[in-house]
Amino acid sequence: MKDVVLITGANGHLAKVVSRHLNTDYEVRHLTTRKPSSSQDSYFHWDIEKGYIDPKALDNCKHIVHLAGYSILKRWTTKNKQIMYDSRIKSANMILDSCKKMNIKPKTFITASAIGIYDQSGQENIHEDSQKGNDWVAKMACDWENAANTFKALGSRVVQMRISLIFSEKAGFLKYSLLSMKYGLGLIIGDKNRNVNWIHVEDIASFIKENISNNKYNGPYNLACEDKISQENFIKVIRKNLFPYSIVIKIPMFLVGFFLGERSQIIAANLSLETTKIKE
């Protein structure tokens, strides 16, 4: 009998890739905020605002992969910030409460987190024990990881993935960078030497699958490619190999700050991540 793996954030691109990686070896279930159709028998509804989870989603569940999270690229209004927070932290607490009520004790609880947890003031060679930030994103990420740690009370092994920029041709930063350059325009935002910390979506999915089957993984991990690249070189590589006709322009950070406000800190971050722990 296959172990049951429950994935939250089922409508997201990462969750779909993870599901594809796990489908052969596990019974994969999905939690979705959309009400599933009758043909989606592996999908179960939850409503974070109302505190509702379909109990059938957790029945005999052995592993939970918590990928739910309202996009932090949305406008940072007071309302949206609360949705961003609740979709990550309140949702984890809901799952924990449901597990307790149903006497479900997952072997593994794997959660997304973010490299935004770190202090952004120019630390070098950031490892998992490096100084945390005090801004809103960092505090939310800390609460996100702390919510995951509460699953230890159920005997679960807890892993927090501090995910860098996810590269995929079908979603996110890379998709829109490629689209922009396809139409002739490459953008360098702020400091051209700023580090681009990235990881391919398939590598994240592989890491999750390895985590489920290997008990050696515990605690937080920086998920980023070992090969570091500057923002300028990243754009140059795409231009050289795919869109040599495109032009590259530089946008000063103050202009980005004018349009994005607080959100510009996500783009301005210049971190040098170490990935030693994941290689041990």
Section 52-60 average pLDDT = 96
pLDDT of residue 240: 87
Within a domain: residue 262? no
pLDDT of residue 169: 81
- pLDDT class of 142 with cuts at 50, 70, 90: very high
Within a domain: residue 49? yes
Whether 207 shows a pLDDT value over 80: the answer reads yes
Within a domain: residue 139? yes
Within a domain: residue 57? yes
- pLDDT class of 212 with cuts at 50, 70, 90: very high
User: Which residues are bridge partners to 161 per DSSP?
Assistant: 112, 221
Within a domain: residue 270? no
Instruction: Find out whether 223 and 207 touch, Cβ atoms under 8 Å.
Output: yes
pLDDT of residue 206: 97
Average pLDDT taken over every residue of the chain: 91
pLDDT of residue 123: 66
* Long-range CB contacts (within 8 A, 24+) of 176-185: 177/235, 177/238, 178/238, 178/242, 181/235, 181/238, 181/239, 181/242, 181/243, 181/246, 182/242, 182/243, 182/246, 184/243, 184/245, 184/246, 184/247, 185/246, 185/247, 185/248, 185/249
Whether 32 shows a pLDDT value over 90: the answer reads yes
Percentage of the chain lying above the pLDDT 70 cut:
98
pLDDT of residue 95: 98
Domain hosting 35: range is 4-166+197-224
Please write the tens of the pLDDT for every residue from 231-248. 888 888 888 888 889 888
Section 3-28 average pLDDT = 96
From first CA to last CA, the distance across the chain in angstroms is 31
pLDDT of residue 39: 66
Within a domain: residue 258? no
Instruction: Find out whether 155 and 103 touch, Cβ atoms under 8 Å.
Output: no
The number of domains in the chain is 1
Within a domain: residue 95? yes
Please write the tens of the pLDDT for every residue from 144-202. 999 999 999 999 999 999 999 898 888 777 787 888 888 888 888 878 888 888 899 99
- pLDDT class of 83 with cuts at 50, 70, 90: very high
Please write the tens of the pLDDT for every residue from 95-133. 999 999 999 999 999 999 999 999 887 667 899 999 999
Whether 71 shows a pLDDT value over 70: the answer reads yes
Within a domain: residue 29? yes
Instruction: Find out whether 84 and 40 touch, Cβ atoms under 8 Å.
Output: no
Section 14-27 average pLDDT = 96
pLDDT of residue 226: 82
Strand order in the sheet with 52-53: 52-53, 43-47, 27-32, 4-7, 61-66, 108-114, 157-163, 219-223
d(CA 62, CA 271): 35
Please write the tens of the pLDDT for every residue from 261-270. 777 777 777 7
Q: Which CATH number belongs to the domain containing residue 32 in this structure?
A: 3.40.50.720
* Number of C-beta neighbours around residue 258 at 10 A: 10
- State the pTM of this model: 0.92
